Amino acid sequence: YTKMSHQDNPKHFPALAPGPPRMFAGPSSMAVTRPKKNSTACLACKQAKRKAGQPPLNKSARPNTRARGMNDQRENGLLTIFDGTTVLWPPSPCKACLSAGAEDECQFDPSRDLRRKVAVKRTIQELADYKKLLDSLLSTIRIANPDKLGEITELLKSNGSMRDLACAVGSPVTHFADTRALASASQLSISEDGEQSLESPVTEFANKLRRPLESDKVSTSPEEEHYMDSARVGSNPYRVTLESLCDIPLYQVPAKPWTEVTDDTDFVSHLVSLYFTWDHPCAQFLDQGVFLEHMRRQDLNSEFCSPLLVNSLLSVASIYSDSPRVLSNPDNTFSRGQPFFAEAEILWVAQEGRATLSNIQALLMLCCVLSYQGKPDLSWLMLQQAVQLAQDIGLFMLPRSKHRFREKMTAEMERSRTITAWGIFSLNRQMSMKLHKMSALPRPASGIDTGGEHDFDWTPYPRSNQITYATKRAHLPQVRQGLADLTEIMMQVEELLDDEELSSNFSAIFAKAEQPYTRLQQWLAAWPNASQNGNEPVPQLLIVRIKCLQAIMHLIEMLIERDQQGTEIAQLKHKWFAQAEEMAQCLRIHRQSYGTKHIPSQLVDAVQTALRVLVHHLEDQDEIRQAAFTEICRFGIALSEKFKPTAETINAIHSMALQGSVKLPNEAIAILDGSELRRVQESI
C-alpha cells in the first residue's frame, strides 16, 4: 500500500460531517439466520422417499462447528458425525415426520448418504478390497496344489473370516467391513429433493475406472478388447505381494546406462533373471556369460551389450513379470514390455541398419515380441532383417562372404557368433514352416560345437525365493545340440513340402516322408523322456521334446491333407493323437513341478497346435485323449493371459463350444469357464 499525496490526487472531496455519538451497540440487522436443512433425510423419510426437511428447533442448538477428528462426538445436544457435519442430538421428529403424525425421534444414518465424499471414498475402497480378494482367490484356485486347495475349501466351508481368507490366498490383509454395507452401497443415492439419481457416485467412479487409460504407445482396439475379456490377469497386477517384497534376483545388473525406461537396478535385475530362467534356455540367441559380464561393465562401446539389445531383452522378459511397471496400458494385458519395446524401436531406427552382433541379437528378440502380439507379418519382416545382417557379417555359409571375416577373433566372440547363428537358423526354420514362407537359409558357418560346453546352474526364479529347490544344471549345450538336430531334420521335411513333383502323388510323398519321420522318432528315443529326467526336470528339456512332437504332428498333418483317397487316414490320425497325448504328459510334468504362472514362450505354438488337433476329435469318449485335451487347456488359459495368439485360439474354442459344434469334457468346460457353456454342452 502506497499513500497518495496531495499532488498525486488532483480531485478534492469535502470532509464528511460527523455523526451523532453512539451510546451503545444494538443488534445488527446484517446478522440474519438462514433456515437450515438437514443434509440427509431420516430413515423414515428415506423409506417414504420424502425430502429432507427443516430440522426442528432445539434449545440446545448452537452454531455448527467442524469436528477436528473423524469420530462421532456428542456434546450439549449436538452430534458431530464422521465428516464434520453437526446435527441435533437426540433428534426430534423433523417437519415431514411431524406432518405425518410421527412422535418418535428421527433416526439418522449419515453413512448412507452417498453424496458425502468420505462415504463415497470409503465405499470405493471397500469394493476395491473385495475385488482384490476375489482376484487373489480365483488366481490361487487356478494354480494351487491339492493341499493348498483343500485348505482354502475348508476355510470357506467353515465360514472363516475375510481376513483369514485373505491371508490364505496371499491377498493384502485389509479390514473388511460388513458385507451388508456393500449391498447398500450398490443402491442408488437419494438426492436432496428426494428423487433417485440415475447413477450413484460409486457407479460413476467405477465406470471411470473401467474405461481404458489413454496411452500414446499402445492402443486397445475393439478386437483386442474382445479377447481381453477372457484374458484378464488372474491376480491384481497392482497388489504388493510378499513374493515381490522378498524378491532376490538371480543376476544383479545395472539399469544405467542401458535403458531410459527405468533407473531401478533391482527391477532390471528382476527382469534379466526372469529372461535367463524361462526364455533363454529354450531359445538361445546370445552367450549368457558374456552378455552378463559386459552389461555389468556399463561400457556403451561393448560389442556384446548395447542399449538396443538390453531394451529388446527386457521387452521379452516382461512377459514373465507380474509387475504393473511392465504394462504400458493397465487395461491391456497384452501390453507387457511395450515401454522397453518402444525404446528399442527408436534405438533401432537410430542404428540405420548397422550390421553388428548385438543388433542382430536385438532384432531376434523384437521378432519374438511381435509374434507374441499376434503380428506374424511384422515378426517375419524383423526376422529377415536379422538374417540379412547375419549374412553380411558372415554367420552363414555364403559364397560372397567366403573370403571375408578371416581376421582373428577372440574366443568369446567366436562362441557368441556361433550361438547367435544357430539361434537364427532354428527360429527361421520354425517361422517359415508356421507361416508357410520361403527362406532358403544355408547352414551356419561354424559348427554347433563351437558354442562351447560351458553351462550354468538353473533354479525356478522367482519361486526359489520361497521354496527350496535343488540347484540343477541348465543343460544349455545339450539344448543347443538338440535344437540344431531337430532343425536339420525339419529342413528335410520342408524340402518334401516344396517338391512339386510329389504334390499330386500321395503314394510317392508318403514313401518319401518315411525317412524324416523315422529320423524324428529316433531323435525322440535318444532324447531323455519324462521318466529319465527325474523329479522336477528343468523345463527346457521338456520343451525340446515337445518341439519334436510338434514337428511330427506337422509332418502327419501334411500327409493327412494330401491323402485324398483316405487310404492312410486312420493310421495317420492314430499317430497324430499319440503325439498330442505325449505332449500333454510333458505339460503335466511341467505344471506339477513349476505351476503355470511362468511358462516359456516357446510353448505357445505347440499348445495351439495340440488344441487345434484334439478339439475336433473328442466325441468318441476316449478318456486318455480327453484328459490330454484338458491338460493342454490349462496351459492355453494360462498363456492366453499374456499371448494374444493363444487368447484367439481359446476364444475360438469357447465360441465353438457355445455354438454346440464341439463336445468338450466336463473338466475342460470348468477350465474354460462358465455356467452358460456348461448348459449348452449338457444339451448336446
The DSSP H or E segment spanning 439 is none
The answer on 278 and 363 residing in a single domain is: yes
By DSSP bridging, strand 73-75 and strand 457-458 are unpaired
The answer on 514 and 443 residing in a single domain is: no
As a three-state string, the secondary structure of 553-581 is HHHHHHHHHHCCCCCCHHHHHHHHHHHHH
The domain total for the chain is 3
Predicted local confidence at residue 675, as pLDDT: 46
Q: Are 590 and 534 in contact (CB under 8 A)?
A: no
Q: Is the pLDDT of residue 679 over 50?
A: yes
Q: Is the pLDDT of residue 29 over 80?
A: no
Within-domain flag for 352: yes
Chain centroid to CA 101: 61
Q: For the chain, give the mean pLDDT.
A: 77
What residues pair up with 78 in beta bridges, in sequence order?
75, 88
Predicted local confidence at residue 366, as pLDDT: 97
Predicted local confidence at residue 62, as pLDDT: 39
Q: Dig out the grid coordinates for 353 from the structure.
A: 541398419
Predicted local confidence at residue 292, as pLDDT: 96
| pLDDT tens digit sequence for 216-266 | 344 444 444 444 444 433 444 445 566 666 788 999 999 999 999 999 999
Helix (H, G, I), strand (E, B) or coil at 675: helix
What's the mean pLDDT in 614-638? 89
Cβ neighbours of residue 227 closer than 8 Å, sequence gap 6 or more: 640, 644, 647, 648, 651
Predicted local confidence at residue 200, as pLDDT: 38
| pLDDT tens digit sequence for 125-146 | 778 778 878 877 886 777 667 7
The answer on 433 and 513 residing in a single domain is: no
The answer on 270 and 157 residing in a single domain is: no
Predicted local confidence at residue 258, as pLDDT: 96
Percent of the chain with pLDDT over 70: 68
Q: Are 540 and 279 in contact (CB under 8 A)?
A: no
The whole-angstrom separation of Cα 31 and Cα 349 is: 73
Amino acid letter, residue 72 = D
The answer on 439 and 345 residing in a single domain is: yes
The whole-angstrom separation of Cα 627 and Cα 668 is: 9
By DSSP bridging, strand 78-80 and strand 86-88 are antiparallel
Give me the residue label for grid cell 487373489.
Answer: 136
Higher-confidence residue of 107 and 467: namely 107
Within-domain flag for 624: yes
Q: Dig out the grid coordinates for 460 from the structure.
A: 525356478
Q: Are 639 and 230 in contact (CB under 8 A)?
A: no
Predicted local confidence at residue 525, as pLDDT: 92
What's the mean pLDDT in 375-395? 94
Helices assigned H by DSSP within 89-170: 95-99, 117-143, 146-157, 162-169
| pLDDT tens digit sequence for 504-550 | 777 888 888 899 999 999 999 999 876 666 678 899 999 999 999 99
Which of 364, 353, 215 minimizes the C-alpha distance to 283? 364
Helices assigned H by DSSP within 298-410: 307-317, 338-351, 357-372, 376-392
The count of other CB atoms within 10 Å of the CB of residue 173 is 13
The answer on 449 and 505 residing in a single domain is: no
In which band, very low, low, confident or very high, does the pLDDT at 663 lie, cut at 50, 70 and 90?
A: confident
Q: Is the pLDDT of residue 286 over 90?
A: yes
- Among 172, 187, 202, the domain-final residue is 187
Predicted local confidence at residue 565, as pLDDT: 73
Within-domain flag for 223: no
| pLDDT tens digit sequence for 594-625 | 888 899 999 999 999 999 999 988 877 788 99
In which band, very low, low, confident or very high, does the pLDDT at 186 lie, cut at 50, 70 and 90?
A: very low
Helix (H, G, I), strand (E, B) or coil at 342: helix
Predicted local confidence at residue 21, as pLDDT: 56
Domain extent at residue 158: 117-187
Within-domain flag for 59: no
The answer on 261 and 140 residing in a single domain is: no
